A and B are shown apart, each in its own frame.
Chain A
Amino acid sequence: MTEPKKKNEFLYFALRNNKLRIGLTVVFFFLVLTFVGPQFTDYTPYAYVNPMGAQPPSSEHWFGTTMFGQDVFTQFVFGLQATFLVGIVGGGLGTLIGVVVGFVAGYRGGIVDEILSTITNIVLVIPTLAILLIIAAYLEVRGVFTESIFIGCTAWPWTARAVRAQTFSLRSREFVDLARLSGMNTWKIIFQEVAPNMMSYLLLVFILQFGGAILNAATLDFIGLGPMEGISLGMMMQYAVLWGALHLGHWWWFVPPGAAIMAIVGALYVTNVGLDEVFNPKLREM
């Protein structure tokens, strides 16, 4: 068996890969902040805690306070929770649907592939945000979770296409043919032979979906079609702009949320490339 050795080899390259190290560190940092952050604050996101209104960062309020005297740091850490939730649920769902559709299309081929590919191609061309906008406006009550579901439901097509292509190439490999000759059923082949060989690829796909879901959610939240309860980074930016933070110079209100999204998504992308290099030996040289 070559498995253990292979794993060690991955780990070796993974630890030496700068992109992976930087990317994972940043993501991990924010993830930790999401869980630990609320411990550092005595407030709730919308509580009016500073009677002075908008004040720049201080030792009392690390990220300053909003127009109404709400603590920006508190909003920030609670907003991060929403961001990661959307990433995991939305990105996860997008990956799942994409992978299932792509697998089935690529593996079964023929008429099934034809139908699934047509659907994929159609959904692919339709601008998802426009659809999301309309759906979001249609919902009477919007929450982070429903938002994630809808983002996931519209983000899958490119994944499906990519997975389909991968499956196509794997399907024709010898070990799959062998399995088929030995009389294994389709699902068994998919799960035991094809899927493991695609795991690394799926991880890459999930990371991209994760980042994409976060950006989509930020967009929806910013234009006021985000969750109606709770707080998110996109909503923070929306409120900041609505309440004139740009003109009144309350930069501490709108800089942190955007910077966090940028850092998380950027780190995810870098991680993605780093992983790609680890999995794909040819790329390691650069």
Chain B
Amino acid sequence: MRRYFGRKLFIYALTFFLAATIDWMIPRFMPGDPVQNMLSRAALHAEAAEVMHGYYTRAFGLDVPVWQQYINFWIALFHGDLGTSVYLFPQPVLQIIMRAVPYDIFLLLPAILLSWLAGNKFGAFAARSKWLDNTISPLGYILTATPYMWLGILLAWFFGIVLGIFPIAGAYSFTMRPHLSWAFVGNLLKHWFLPFASLFLVKFGGWAIGMRNMIIYELEADYSHYLEALGAPRKLVRQYAYRNAILPQITGLGLDLGVVVAGALVTEVVFSYPGIGYLILAAIQNQDYFLIQGCFLFIIIGVLLANFIIDIVYVIVDPRTRTGMQGETV
């Protein structure tokens, strides 16, 4: 078990190192000059443009050699300093991201967990009879094949505009200021519901299909037939099948995180939900080096953390990993 976690941690550390390096590298070789872009926004009076350009280039540390920028990047990273945003100047990147993270957790955690639980339940349910299979499975296929943004657009259009019962932009009403009250929490939830629903539905379809197929594999496995031959009740056989089928689903949860992040990104764009996905797009459009890096780092850290938690859960659920067998997963 120690080796198992040791290996995992090594991989994660290596992943983080490489991801951070890529992260540092890519935006730096983007075309264009971020300081110039930023200043060109001033439009009004750019008399001082030259002076300001030099000033901000120094302020952002872009005037030192590239290798030194890389070293500075790591030094700053270990100090928890992700730099200053160009686009939201002069706010520190960390502060901007910390404001966005709660919305992501609020959106993603329930969407991931609930869709996983519900999907597994319904998938197992579908494997029970031909009739259920014929109703749940097609629905699952349709949902899982739906592009996130299209479902988002449809939900926004139908519930937000045609029926007008849900707001379709922002995290809470423009008529409110944040405070602790039922009215405000209700308002938060109302804004949260549609983005959550579009993420949940697509994921739900995927998990249901996955579970259904897994169970069918398991039910056709030799041990199931053997159990049945021994006269074990169908319910018991299904229970065993479910327990075995859930393992790959847990692994799948870890592998799927990157996809969910992508889904959350477009969903946030459709609903203008102020999470990291929304932020990273704005950062890219404004060529904000530091903000892009920060967002990406946070996504990586989030995904790695989640993977690690899933590894721990896996060890708890699958006894084989505990008794020294090396996990086949990551």
Is there a contact between chains A and B in the complex with CB atoms less than 8 Å apart? yes
A→B interface (CB under 8 Å): 118, 121-122, 124-131, 133-135, 137-138, 140, 158, 165, 211, 215-216, 218-219, 222-225, 234, 237, 240-241, 246-247, 249, 251, 254-255, 257-259, 261-270, 273, 276, 282-283, 285-286
- Whether A269 lies near B149 (C-beta < 8 A) is no
Taken together as a complex, chains A and B put the C-alpha atoms of A241 and B272 apart, in Å, by: 12
Q: Which residues of A contact B295 (CB under 8 A)?
A: 130
- Whether B296 lies near A130 (C-beta < 8 A) is yes
Return the CB mask of B228-241 against A: 1 if under 8 Å, else 0: 00000000000000
- Whether A265 lies near B145 (C-beta < 8 A) is yes
Known A-B contacts A137-B284, A158-B255; the reply to A269 vs B209 at CB < 8 A is yes
Write the chain B residue with the least CB distance to A211: B145
Cβ-defined partner of A127 (8 Å) among B12, B156, B262: B262
Cβ-defined partner of A134 (8 Å) among B151, B154, B220, B284: B284
- Whether A286 lies near B130 (C-beta < 8 A) is yes
Q: Tell yes or no: B148 within 8 A of A by CB.
A: yes
- Whether B266 lies near A258 (C-beta < 8 A) is no
Cβ-defined partner of A258 (8 Å) among B19, B153, B262, B280: B153
Write 12 A-B pairs (CB below 8 A) sorted by A numbering: A118-B14, A122-B11, A124-B258, A125-B12, A125-B257, A126-B303, A134-B26, A137-B287, A234-B147, A237-B150, A273-B209, A273-B213
Write the chain A residue with the least CB distance to B222: A282
In this complex, how many residues of chain B approach chain A with their Cβ under 8 Å: the count is 62
Q: Tell yes or no: B15 within 8 A of A by CB.
A: yes
Write the chain A residue with the least CB distance to B129: A286
Taken together as a complex, chains A and B put the C-alpha atoms of A251 and B27 apart, in Å, by: 37
Min C-beta distance of B24 to chain A, whole Å:
11
Write the chain B residue with the least CB distance to A238: B149
- Whether B307 lies near A262 (C-beta < 8 A) is no
Known A-B contacts A122-B18, A218-B149, A265-B145; the reply to A165 vs B330 at CB < 8 A is no
Min C-beta distance of A228 to chain B, whole Å:
14
Query: Main secondary structure on chain B at its contact with chain A?
Result: helix
Known A-B contacts A158-B255, A254-B153, A286-B133; the reply to A125 vs B147 at CB < 8 A is no
Q: Tell yes or no: B249 within 8 A of A by CB.
A: no
Taken together as a complex, chains A and B put the C-alpha atoms of A267 and B142 apart, in Å, by: 9
Return the CB mask of B127-160 against A: 1 if under 8 Å, else 0: 1001001000000011011111111011011001
Q: Which residues of A contact B142 (CB under 8 A)?
A: 262, 266
Q: Which residues of B contact A122 (CB under 8 A)?
A: 11, 14-15, 18-19
Known A-B contacts A246-B153, A286-B133; the reply to A127 vs B26 at CB < 8 A is no
Taken together as a complex, chains A and B put the C-alpha atoms of A124 and B18 apart, in Å, by: 13
Q: Which residues of A contact B292 (CB under 8 A)?
A: 134
- Whether A125 lies near B330 (C-beta < 8 A) is yes
Taken together as a complex, chains A and B put the C-alpha atoms of A72 and B5 apart, in Å, by: 54
Min C-beta distance of B298 to chain A, whole Å:
10
Write the chain B residue with the least CB distance to A233: B147
| Residue from B150, B269, B296 whose CB has the most chain A CB atoms within 10 Å | B150
Known A-B contacts A134-B296, A273-B213; the reply to A126 vs B15 at CB < 8 A is yes
Taken together as a complex, chains A and B put the C-alpha atoms of A134 and B292 apart, in Å, by: 8
- Whether B280 lies near A130 (C-beta < 8 A) is yes
